[in-house]
Chains A and B, each alone.
Chain A
Amino acid sequence: MKKTVFFGALTAAGLVAGLASAGTLEDVKARGTLNCGVSTGVPGFAEPDANGKWQGFDIAVCRAVAAAVLGDNNAIEFVPTTGKTRFTSLASGEIDMLARNTTWTLSRDVDLKFDFVGVNYYDGQGFMVKASTGITSASSPEIDGVTVCIQTGTTSELNLSDHFRSIGMSYEPLPVESGSEAVANYMAGTCDMFTTDRSALAARRATQEVPTDHVVLPEIISKEPLGPLVRHGDNEWGDVVRWTLNALITAEEFGVTAANAEKLSAGTENAEINRLLGSEGTMGEMLGLDADWAKRAIMSEGNYGEIFEANIGADTIIGLPRGVNAMWTNGGLIYSPPFR
């Protein structure tokens, strides 16, 4: 009995590992669809709309890559993943890329053998409490003994433990599987606090009945650079995803939008725009794509700034300010290496 189960598992693992070795770019082109791993639902970042069409800030990255590689930003198979299943899905080859508020850390990059292609949102972990509790700070003595809802399998879990250790106070973790479950527990009062990345907190707060009943505390207890990632070792595919993201950022920097990309691609005075949109140089060819790849990526959902404003920006219900996610020319951290 023991042996059969053991070797059964080994066989399964062996088969799965065997599938993951071919070139992803060729696989995607041959398949005609991009398998993109996304979260199971974070308002503004990744959520199916009323028609069942996936929308959001992270989704836009998937769509841009699909547009660049396949020429169709709807040729995507969205695979919802939880904090627990995301890495296995990517490592096993079930998905080609993961665009799901995932923090770039050394151990994930090195030990788990993934490549983070860049950062599309600079985040930090925060806390949300009900306004009625009267708590104003996550490091004041009054929070001793608090029950905290935490999504299991995330870096937040470790940061939370470090935070309470550093302020020398006790707490009770209440681990849950998904963000929506955490919110359900928080709303029922089973936990006093909900902790996750501040962007997600803002999103959750915005979708509550009375958002002002909830307070996001000022403390930021960690750095959470979120970005898309691919499997380690398939550098051609990694380059495609990385430069698609960079194309969106460069487009914002040079004022290329979904609306004017077509016109600008005929050729402009600016050599960088020309190289980006393919009227000059052989950038697309170097990546194993055609010359119009970046134009299609930008025309899919707009440049980085347009995507931000449409999904999570100040005019949406999420209402996040650009903050550190502003373009570097405006004093933010969003910066793309040159297209040269």
Chain B
Amino acid sequence: MSTFTSTEREKFRLSMLLNDRRYRSYTFQFFALLVLICIISYLGKNLVENLAKAGLNISYGFLEDPAGYDINQRLIEYNSQSSHLRAAMVGILNTLLVAVLGCITATVLGVTAGILRLSNNWIVAKLMAIYVEIFRNVPILIWILIISSIFMGVLPQPRAFKGENPDATMLWDMFAFTGRGIYAPGPIFFEGSLVVVGTFVLSILSIIALRRHARRKLYSEGRVIKTGWWSIALFFIPTILIYYALGSPIGLEYPELKGFNFKGGIYARGSLISLWFALSIYTGAFIAEVVRAGIQSVDKGQTEAAAALGLRNNFIMNLVILPQALRVIIPPMISFYLNITKNSSLALAVGYMDITGTLGGITLNQTGRAIEAVLLLMLFYLVISLSISAVMNIYNRSIMLKER
């Protein structure tokens, strides 16, 4: 066995690199690669030389220096004495926050609008068509600015809530809608709150297990187990029991007007809300069209067959049409999610401090390290976009048509 290659094969000669089809393509590719390396190293050398001539050197040392500026929305501990790197992290988290929120609401909006656009109700269908056409045909930056200025101009400022006869009042003394943002009650955790949260997580897990069990029974034995009431009971009862058994360890903190602003509770800034809302309705309009196309791509015979089996309308949609439509819908959805993430870099238009605002904005300005900061920014968006694609591709593979 080990000898047959050497005896049967022709001996390798140098001229075969050009004359033999087996090797020729490798030769060409090798030279093409050499040329490419030369061009790239020439450009790189050119850059380094020119930067040196202009007195600029590439260095990332500035990331360790104190940033010196404050950021309003911080998901992690940060103050003006933290490093530029920390400021970049704050920005990254803000970008991810608005991207995740945007993806969720855009999907909900888009799927709803897409399905409703196919409704038999003329008014609903036309309203959805108008929504889609208006929102996807105006640039997103304009939407961000419009929504932000409406938000700023229409809602009262915190000052209006002051005094004996205030111009504005809080909703149920819990929610304050101001031009600066929306204030809502927030939870405060006392001792023992971990047990309550743990119980809640356990109930959710058991609901999932119960549903999975019911599905297995349905597939293997054809028995239908009703899970609806059980799920609802599991969701509420254990958590509520533990909550009162431990003496209400989780309280609510209401926002209160102190000085210039409301304090306490949860504060969603106007900048976050404007950006989030604009990203959602804009991308939602695109998603609606893809969902509509996906549904229409499922053959009409499928609906008729399902109806002939006696399925009700919502079952037809959920069990027959959507699973097949998803195969068409998911691949374009990946690029919509990528678009939301990348469009979130328009945040500075409303003063939302995302990564472009911190690292690519203030840090870049204060340190003057433009090339370094922009390279880091590119790397960040690249990593995030590729991760989203990877996750969505895995999901796509799981719902793809499986050939048996």
Contact = CB atoms under 8 A, between A and B. Distances in A.
Interface of A: 1-2, 5-7, 9-11, 13-14, 17-18, 20-21, 83-84, 87-88, 91, 107-108, 111-113, 133, 142-147, 152-154, 157-158, 160-162, 164-165, 171-177, 185, 188-190, 192, 232-233
B96 interface: no
Nearest to B68: A158
B344 interface: no
B378 A6 contact: yes
B368 A14 contact: no
B43 interface: yes
Contact of A142 (B259, B353, B366): B259
A192 B365 CA distance: 25
Contacts, number: 131
A232 B179 contact: no
A236 B46 CA distance: 26
Contacts of B54: 17, 20-21, 91, 113
A185 B371 CA distance: 32
Contact of A7 (B44, B258, B263, B353): B44
A14 B47 contact: yes
12 contacts: A9-B371, A14-B50, A20-B54, A21-B54, A84-B365, A145-B260, A161-B68, A161-B69, A173-B70, A189-B157, A190-B157, A233-B55
The secondary-structure label for the interface of chain B is helix
Given A10-B43, A147-B180, A157-B69, A174 B361 contact: no
B284 interface: no
Interface of B: 40, 43-44, 46-47, 50-51, 53-56, 68-72, 80, 152-153, 157, 159, 179-180, 258-261, 263, 270, 348-349, 351, 353, 357, 361-362, 364-368, 370-371, 374-375, 378, 382
Given A13-B50, A17-B50, 16 more contacts: A2-B382, A5-B378, A10-B44, A10-B47, A11-B46, A11-B47, A17-B47, A108-B368, A145-B263, A152-B362, A161-B69, A172-B261, A175-B353, A188-B179, A190-B152, A190-B180
Contacts of A146: 259-261
A11 B357 CA distance: 25
Contacts of B152: 185, 188, 190
B368 to A, nearest CB: 4
B268 to A, nearest CB: 14
A18 B43 CA distance: 12
A245 B361 CA distance: 32
A8 B368 CA distance: 21
A40 B72 CA distance: 26
Closest 9 CB pairs of A and B: A17-B50, A14-B47, A153-B365, A189-B157, A112-B368, A161-B80, A14-B46, A158-B68, A145-B259
Nearest to B368: A112
B71 A173 contact: yes
Contacts of B50: 13-14, 17-18
Contacts of A91: 54
B368 A87 contact: yes
A173 B353 CA distance: 10
B37 to A, nearest CB: 12
Nearest to A2: B382
A188 B159 CA distance: 12
Contacts of B370: 88
Given A11-B47, A84-B361, A84-B365, A189 B159 contact: yes
Contacts of B375: 6, 9
A112 B55 CA distance: 9
A232 B55 CA distance: 9
B260 A158 contact: no
A190 B151 CA distance: 10
A6 B159 CA distance: 49
B161 to A, nearest CB: 12
